[in-house]
Chains A and B, each alone.
Chain A
Amino acid sequence: MITPSQTVGPFFAIGLPWDGGPHVVPPGTPGAITITGMVYDGAGEPVPDHLIETWQADPEGRFADLHGHGGPSRLEGFRGFGRCGYDAGDGSYELVTVKPGAVAGQAPHIDVSVFARGMLGRCVTRVYFADEEAANAADPVLASVPAERRETLIAKPTDAGGFRFDIRLQGPGETVFFAL
């Protein structure tokens, strides 16, 4: 017996985003990076009313869940969770975090949920990092993705020292989404 999903709708911004939401780590954390990107629809148009959520380990592979899996994070104020929600933005998002460590025999990755008006449930994807070439090559999840689509999961370094990760819900270059 499971409660069905329903769309987050057009007006989630009155309830879900909060000021600290996009900060997976506190501002000023040493080693913090910014992950930025756009969300596009099947016509290649930006999706201005999307909500992005992320969940990840800290650089040592430790989680900030109830039980502190992997041991309590030594990173002050590490939350592991990020939420960016804009009601009338330009389709972009920006998250401040740290690069996660490798866990579970997998390359460093961040789990991502995408919600929007017009989506009756979330779409789940993953951020991997372009500078982890060897780890990515050995990652079992990436290996399960058709080779020609793997690139959609790899965040690219930016000039500002962060990463860029665009999400295409449909159409050319459609992002790989997972059945969870």
Chain B
Amino acid sequence: MADRDTPASYAREPDGVHPPLDYREYRSTRLRHPKHPLVYLPHAITEITGPQLAGGPRSPVLDHDLTRQHAGEPIGEPITVSGRVLDTEGTPVRGTLVEIWQANAAGRYRHRNDRWPAPLDPNFSGAGRCVTDAEGRYRFRTVKPGPYPWSNHDNAWRPAHIHFSLLGRAFAQRLVTQMYFPGDPLFPYDPIFNAVPDERARERLISRFSLERSEPDRALAYEFDVHLRGPDATPLEEAT
């Protein structure tokens, strides 16, 4: 078990980073949160290991370019979204699956339950997968999703966002989150974004615009690093 990817246990996460499961302003949490206190689970082998879904048995198909999944180009603002997956020690999480899904440029998901009557785009499905490289880097090409209304409260709108799913290296590191775009005027009104108690943690959900990484005549670039929880104490490679 002595290897650099497998600490003996992961650090417990500080209060204020993750949203509470019971959050009144997000109405659907009401019947979907446990009321009993959580039971403390010490980390053992099942928690410190995790799936290898890059090229493993019956793995999902990878496709990092959401603009080339159909005959034509999707409508909207072409962008790249790239960044690194790191743990709290700054160690890259290499070879891990990154999955995204999103609405199209008009704010419509290709999903039968999405009732927002904005147009579907025949050239956009809105989902992609890739695997991080040795430095923990990932990169997607897509279009900027639009904001859209939802029924949580009167005149409720979600800020534009891309859903992110990270497997990490261990069951303990699993994270599902959302990436937002800088300067969105809807931030103050969105209960899902504002459910994150700590303001600085909330800001980590907002991507950065990068002119430097933008491609002339092709795509604007946004950068979004994802920080997964890190080891608790001495890594096992230093133990014998």
Binding site for B on A (CB under 8 A): 1-16, 18, 20-21, 23, 26, 41-43, 45, 47, 53, 55-57, 63-67, 69-70, 77-81, 87-88, 103-104, 106, 109, 111, 113, 115-124, 141, 144-145, 149, 169-171, 174-180
Q: Given B45, B88, B95, B193, which contacts A2 in the complex, CB threshold below 8 Å? A: B88
A70–B44 Cα gap in the complex (Å)?
13
Q: Mind listing 9 A-B residue pairs with CB under 8 Å?
A: A5-B19, A6-B177, A10-B113, A15-B127, A15-B163, A120-B195, A122-B176, A176-B36, A180-B171
Question: Which residues from chain B sit less than 8 Å from chain A, CB to CB?
Answer: 1, 3, 5-6, 12-14, 17-21, 23, 26-36, 38-47, 49-53, 56-61, 88, 95, 99-101, 109-114, 125-128, 163, 165, 169-172, 174-178, 192-193, 195-196, 198, 201-202, 204-205, 226-229
Contact B31 A43 (CB under 8 A): yes
**Bound form: Cα–Cα A69–B113 in Å:** 41
Given A5-B176, A15-B127, A23-B58, answer yes or no on A66-B95 (Cβ-Cβ < 8 Å).
Answer: yes
Given contact pairs A109-B46, A179-B40, A53 touches B127 in the complex (Cβ within 8 A):
no
Tell me if B's interface is mostly helix, strand, loop or mixed: loop
CB distance from A34 to the nearest CB of B (A): 17
Which of A1, A104, A109, A175 has the most chain B CB atoms inside 10 A of its CB? Answer: A1
- 20 additional A-B pairs beyond A14-B126, A141-B41, beta carbons within 8 Å, are A4-B204, A6-B19, A6-B196, A7-B26, A10-B114, A11-B101, A14-B101, A15-B163, A18-B60, A42-B32, A57-B45, A64-B56, A65-B51, A67-B5, A81-B51, A144-B40, A174-B35, A175-B34, A177-B34, A179-B41
